[in-house]
Amino acid sequence: MAPTPARIGQDTRITSKFAELPAPEEPIVAAVYKFRDQTGQYKASDYGSSWSTAITQGATSILLKALEDSKWFVPIEREGLANLLNERKIINSSRQNYSQNSGSAEPSLPPLLFAGIILEGGIISYDYNILTGGAGARYLGIGANTQYREDRISIYLRAISTNSGRILKSVNVTKRIISQEVSAGVFKYVATNKLLEAETGFTYNEPTDLAVQEAVEKAVLDLIMEGVFDGLWKLKNPTDVEAPIFTEYLHEKDQRDEENFWGNILQQRRDKFALNFSTDLYQLQSDWGKTSLTGGGSFGVSYLPKKRTSFLSLNAGIGRLKSGRYFGTTAIHSELNYGINLFPQRVFSPYFDVGVGAAYTNNIYPYIKGGIGMEYLLHSNAGLFMEVNSNYFLNDNIDGINHGYFNDYFLGAKIGLNLYLDFKKRK
C-alpha cells in the first residue's frame, strides 16, 4: 500500500510494427486539426447517469504521436494553431520593438510548414457488451466463478490532398476491449456455532486509452501500406514492397473476408457427408422401478447441406435395456434425426437434434428423441463428439407392463467419432 512511481507510457503491440516499416522516399508533411470522439457515449453506470465519457477526448494527441513514431510523416501543429500564431505575433512584435531601440534589423520568423495531406476521421462507435459470458460452480458452500465481457471501438481515418481536396485513401479499424473477473469463496459452517467465510479474486479491465492507442496506430499503419500499394507515396527502395510486414498485411486482408463479427474464421471445416461410430450408454425408466445403466453401440451416416448449419443423420445400433430385477432385453434401434450446429465454422461446435426412431425387440416400439451435444474437430476429416439425449416411447408396452400416466422412456449418452468424406478431393 504505497504510491507507485510515474513511468514511460506503455507501448502497444502495433508500436513495434513501425520499426519494421521500410523507409519512405520522403516523409509526408501531415496536419491533424481534430481527431475526436464522435460516439457521444458516457460511461455505463449501475447507479444512475454518469457524465464521464466512455472514450478519451485526447485522440488527436494519440494520432500525432503515432504519426511521429511511424517515421513516415512529419506532423505539424494545427489543433493549437491559434496559440501558435499568437506566440509568433508576440515574437515578431518583440523583435520589432528591439530593432527600433537598438537600431539593428532583426530577421523575421521563417514561414510555417504547410501540409501535403490533412488527416481526418475519429472514433465513430463504442459498443458495450458485444459478448458476455461466465462459468461457476458451488458445492457445500465452496465455489468459484469467472465472468467475461467484450466491448468494441471502431475508428475511421482518411487522408485528404490539400492540393485538390480529394480523399486519397480511407481506412477503418476495430478493436475489442476485454474485461475479466475471477473469484472464489467459501461460506460454510465448520461447527454448530462456527461459520467460516472467505473470499478472494481479481478483475482485469483493459484500459480504454490503450485500446484507442492501439487502434489509432493500426489505422496509421494500414494507411501507410494502402498508400504504398496504390502508389500515393513511394518507398525509398521499391523492392521493400515485398518486406514481411507488407506480406502480413495482405494476408490479414484476405483473412478478414473469412471472419465474422467476433473474429471467428468463417471457413467450411466440415464436409457434406460423414460416417459416425459411437459407444452408447442407456438408462431405461419403466414400470419395474429401479433402473440400471447398460451399454451398446451405434453407427450412422450424416448429410450436411452447403452452410453446415444443419444436418440430417440416419443411425442404427444395438444395446441392452434393463429395469428392475426381472426385466431386461436386447434392442436394435434406428433413428432419423435433424440437428442444428451452433458454430459450424469453428473447431468446437455445440449442437442439438430432434428425431424419430424405433426399437426392435419382440415387437416394434416407436419413440421420439431430443438431444444436445458438442463436437471437437481433431482433424479436418475427423471430429470427436459427445451427446446426451432423452427418448420417449409412444406406448407403454416395451417392459410388458402398461401402468401409470406416462410411457416408458430411456436416457442415452454417447461418445464417438465423425469421419468426414470429401468426394471431390478423392476424385
Q: Say whether both 236 and 281 belong to one domain.
A: no
- Grid cell, residue 346, equals 469453428
* pLDDT tens-digit map of 368-382: 999 999 999 998 789
Q: Say whether both 290 and 325 belong to one domain.
A: yes
Q: Say whether both 68 and 215 belong to one domain.
A: yes
The CATH number covering residue 319 comes to 2.40.160.20
Enumerate residues 6+ apart whose C-beta is below 8 A from 200: 183, 184, 185
**Which among 201, 59, 202 has a CA at the least distance from the CA of 126?**
59
Domain boundary among 200, 224, 258: 258
Asked if residue 213 belongs to a domain, the reply is yes
CA distances from 401 to 328, 345, 406 (A): 13, 47, 12
Beta bridge partners of 274: 302, 420
Asked if residue 102 belongs to a domain, the reply is no
The CATH number covering residue 64 comes to 3.40.50.10610
Q: Say whether both 237 and 285 belong to one domain.
A: no
Q: Say whether both 153 and 39 belong to one domain.
A: yes
pLDDT reading at 100 higher than 70: yes
- For 38, phi then psi, to 5°, come to -105, 10
Residue with cell 481433431: 378
Q: Say whether both 162 and 280 belong to one domain.
A: no
pTM of this structure: 0.68
Q: Say whether both 386 and 291 belong to one domain.
A: yes
* pLDDT tens-digit map of 7-66: 888 888 899 899 899 999 999 999 999 998 888 877 777 666 577 788 888 899 999 999
How many domains does one find in the chain? 2
* Cα–Cα distance for residue pair 254/265, rounded to 1 Å: 11
Domain boundary among 258, 284, 309: 258
* pLDDT tens-digit map of 201-215: 999 999 988 999 999
Cβ-contact 161, 117 below 8 angstroms: yes
Q: What range defines the domain where residue 287 resides?
A: 273-421
Pick the more confident residue, 39 or 425: 39
